[in-house]
Structure 1
Amino acid sequence: MAVPSDIIIIGAGPTGLIAAEWLARSGRRVAIHERMPSPARKFLMAGRGGLNLTHSEDLLAFLGRYGPARAFLEPALRAFTPQDLRDWAEGLGQKTFVGSSGRIFPESFKASPLLRAWLARLGELGVTLHARSQWTGWESEGVLAFKEADGSTTRLRPRATLLALGGASWPRLGSDGGWAPLLRAKGIGISELAPSNSGVEIRWSAVFREKFAGEPLKRIAVGLGEESRRGEAVITEQGLEGGVIYALSRPIREAIAFHGQARLWIDLRPDTDEGALVKLLARPRGGQSFSTFLRKALKLSPATVSLLREAAGNQLPDDAASLARLIKQVPLTAVSQRGLERAISTAGGVALAEIDRHYMLHKLPGVFVAGEMLDWEAPTGGYLLQACFASGIAAAKGIEAWLARSPGNVAP
């Protein structure tokens, strides 16, 4: 028999938790169901790297990071800005600071103190959290079904439902994309879930891979066609990882899908033009080996010198002009992206055309979707979490509006 309820949120990541807080502050009875033993596991893992909450750059530049999804996300991001997120964290006793790159972190540099304070607040607001409770879909008459840890089934018929189940990256932490078949069965359009903010696989030679895996490539630019980004990367046994690679996730993914590979180029000295490099390379080497000369004249690390040799088939150009050109555009071929099990985030998801401006599904009135389930992506740097928080609050506002318009309705 269905148990009456008010609002059910499925998924206890940042999107679901912030929506629950917003709704509970409005006096709504909110229950969160989470299939994992504890909430916000991916959020906690992000905290191992310092928990990059958001970014301090100008809002217009910030909004531009969301690419094609900007038009849809902008109202939510303007309603809950990076400064609002900082104020919220400080309200939980977690002061923040701006790092040298403009990224914003808690002063504790951890996620766990913030999460503990957040869960305590939710408890005080009357939000109930049901762990090990896996949503298995809808039963007849609009009833949500949940498989519990003891094998039993709980059936609930809320007045509104928020789906905040995350994408499909790092599935061992809880978000495995298992919701996709349940929504497709209801006729909801879903773009294929694919890795975003993911490393690339490059077929290194055995010698290069064994000697330089783990070495950083600092202060570089990486490009694909006319699109490029500056930052850092790390050589791995499989290829390349790092922020500058992640920032090109979408064009890399599209190139691989269309051509079967992505032809990247790396500028090892983006702050020095080609002409200046030619002059430096034309200097006498004296008794130095070629590698030593390159390291000293251009301050190239052993890894970058070997990367040049790797890209040139171990035959570096003899003349300064050709070598300068190679340094400015080291060609590399990415044959694939790392899989969802290692990607930081997910591209694809519920098509934005499937929801209205209040984040409610057109085909399922009273059912809302927010966070990484939706078809948007953004680079690392705080943009991911900011949009998850902002969309969660936008969906919570949508639920409030829905309940105000339809006080007697229940979600289908």
Structure 2
Amino acid sequence: DGGFNLTHSEPISQFIERYTPSEFLKKSLTDFDNDNFQKWLSDIGIPTFVGTSNRVYPEKGIKPIEVLNTIVDVLSKQGVQIKYEQTWTGWNEENNLVFNGDTAIKSDYAVFALGGGSWKVTGSDGTWLDIFKTQGLDVIPFQPSNCAYKIDWPEKFISKHEGSPLKNIAVSCSDKSQKGELVITKLGLEGNAIYALSPQIREELSANEKATVFLDLKPMLTIEQLFEKFKKSSHKNTTDILRTALNLSPEKIGLLKAYTSKETFMDSELLVVSIKGLPIEIIGSAPLDEAISTTGGLSLKAVDKSFQLKKLKNTYCIGEMLDWDAPTGGYLLQACFSMGVQLAKHLKRKR
């Protein structure tokens, strides 16, 4: 689809299951769901449409900066003052907020939305983590999520297929499977099909320093159907059968040649099993700052159900600085807006 992906249009019951852990965000997402978000955007002058992947975008011609500026205008009209080029550097002895090392601000309520540990260029550099740690707050080191994963490709394979897409595939790791697309890069693999498996891959990498994903190169066909196509083909050459009868792309055929033995490749029964579940070893992930999002940050145990810090009264934390995870596709932004709405309602009741 391309464009600025704001949310996703799937039913909210499925939507909630995309999050890890899902229970933590359930109330926020139910109270201000994807339909509510789209209506609010429309009300402030940002009409949206649903793309072919069921992702939600601003209407054609509306740029991301225009969406941001519209939201900022709405806030300004409601009396919100936005001060730019400010760096929060901690709390003083009276628990007042300190900016730029010397300016103390006293507040009735403080809401932190400082982001995760990636995209330093935006100011979201994760330096707040150490400040929170010195206050005795429960924090977890950042880890990359929704990122490329490292694979030690055979030189012959990567020199030929770097930059090529793997379309209409499914990837599985542990107990999770995801259909979608991947891109073969010099580093390894990236794309929506593998981003969605970030929690499972991260867990395996943490335990074993490596993880195994299985690629289903023909997710719409069963092993039996593939074998039948093999048998019916008039071609004798295995590569020709894969190309014509099974309609496999050069990249998929290249993967099979690189990751199966000669005996397996020449045996149709063994080869169709590999087509449905080709094991690929992952040896790491892309650097933190190259990740689309991060996990880690402030432990969910550190906040109550209203996102208030248990150790600091009237201080709240929302967004990606909390330790939750979601795939790309509009889920990250939706959760941040939903948390914001829930907290706004809570603070309004307290006034």
* Fold agreement, TM-score > 0.5: yes
Do structure 1's residue 369 and structure 2's residue 322 form an aligned pair? no
Tell me the secondary structure at the aligned position of residue 128 of structure 1: coil
CA–CA distance in 1 between the matches of 2:225 and 2:132? 57
CA contact 2:42–2:48 (8 Å) conserved in 1? yes
Which residue identity lines up with residue 278 of structure 2 in the other structure?
V
Q: In the alignment, which residue of structure 1 is the partner of 2:126?
A: 177
Matched residue, 2:77: 124
What is the distance in 2 between the residues matched to 1:79 and 1:379? 21
Residue of 141, 155, 164 corresponding to 1:215: 164
What SS does structure 2 have at the residue aligned with 1:131?
A: coil
The runs of 5 or more residues in structure 1 that have no matched partner are 1-47, 405-412
Aligned partners of 2:12, 2:153: CA distance in 1, in Å? 40
Structure 1 CA distance for aligned equivalents of residues 71 and 265 of structure 2: 59
Preserved CA contact (<8 Å) 1:366 1:399: no
Q: Does 1:346 align with 2:299?
A: no
Residue in structure 1 matched with residue 20 of structure 2 by the alignment: 67
Residue 136, structure 1, aligned to residue 62, structure 2 = no
1:233 aligns with 2:185: no
| Amino acid aligned to 1:116 | N
> What does 1:176-195 align with in structure 2 at a 5 Å threshold?
176-195=125-144
Letter in 1 for 2:102: T
- Are the aligned partners of 1:231 and 1:243 in contact in 2 as well (CA < 8 Å)? yes
**Aligned pair count?**
350
2:178–2:197 CA contact under 8 A, matched in 1: yes
Give CA-to-partner distance per residue, 1:176-200, whole Å, 9 cap, x none: 1110111111111012211111121
Three-state SS of the structure 1 residue aligned to 2:289 is: coil
Tell me the distance in 1 between the aligned counterparts of 2:348 and 2:39.
23
Do the aligned partners of 2:233 and 2:245 also contact (CA within 8 Å) in 1?
A: no
1:242-257 equivalences under 5 Å are: 242-257=191-206
Is residue 140–residue 298 contact of structure 2 (8 Å, CA) maintained in 1?
Answer: yes
Q: Contact conserved, 1:309 with 1:316, CA < 8 A, in 2?
A: no
> Structure 2 residue aligned with 1:164, among 70, 93, 113?
113
Q: Identify the match of residue 241 of structure 2 among 276, 282, 293.
A: 293
**Offset of 1:94 from its aligned partner?**
1.2
Tell me, what secondary structure is at the counterpart of 1:129? coil
1:399 and 2:347 are equivalent in the alignment:
yes
For residues 88 and 346 of structure 2, the distance between their equivalents in structure 1, rounded to whole angstroms, comes to: 22
For residue 294 of structure 1, report the CA deviation from its aligned partner: 1.2
Hey, what's the Cα distance between the residues in 2 that align with 1:245 and 1:114?
Answer: 28
The match for 1:145 among 66, 91, 98 is: 98
Cα distance in 1, alignment partners of residues 75 and 111 from structure 2: 17
- Measure how far apart 1:311 and its partner are: 1.0
**What is the rounded CA distance, in whole Å, between the counterparts of 2:234 and 2:174 in structure 1?**
34
Alpha-carbon spacing, 1:284–1:352, altered in 2? closer, same or farther (3 Å):
closer
User: Residue 99 of structure 1 corresponds to which residue in structure 2?
Assistant: 51
Partner letter of residue 304 of structure 2?
Answer: D
Determine helix, strand or coil for the equivalent of 2:232. coil
Distance in 1 between the 2:50 and 2:87 partners?
38
Q: Does 2:111 correspond to 1:111?
A: no
Letter in 2 for 1:101: S
In 2, Cα distance between equivalents of 1:167 and 1:241: 20
- 8 Å CA contact 1:221–1:244 kept in 2: the answer is yes
Q: How many percent of aligned residue pairs carry the same amino acid?
A: 39
State yes or no: 1:87 paired with 2:39.
Answer: yes
Q: TM-score, normalised by structure 1?
A: 0.81
Q: Report the CA distance between 1:401 and its aligned residue.
A: 3.8
5+ residue gaps in structure 2?
none
Q: Give the letter aligned to residue 214 of structure 1.
A: G
With normalisation by structure 2, the TM-score equals 0.95
Tell me, what secondary structure is at the counterpart of 2:310?
coil
Structure 1 SS opposite 2:90? strand
After superposition, the CA RMSD in angstroms is 1.7
Cα deviation code 1:64-109 (max 9, x no counterpart): 11132x2221111111111111011112211111111211111135
Deviations 1:21-72 (A, max 9, x none): xxxxxxxxxxxxxxxxxxxxxxxxxxx941211111111111111132x222
In 1, are the aligned partners of 2:142 and 2:294 still within 8 Å (CA)? Answer: yes
Partner of 1:30: none
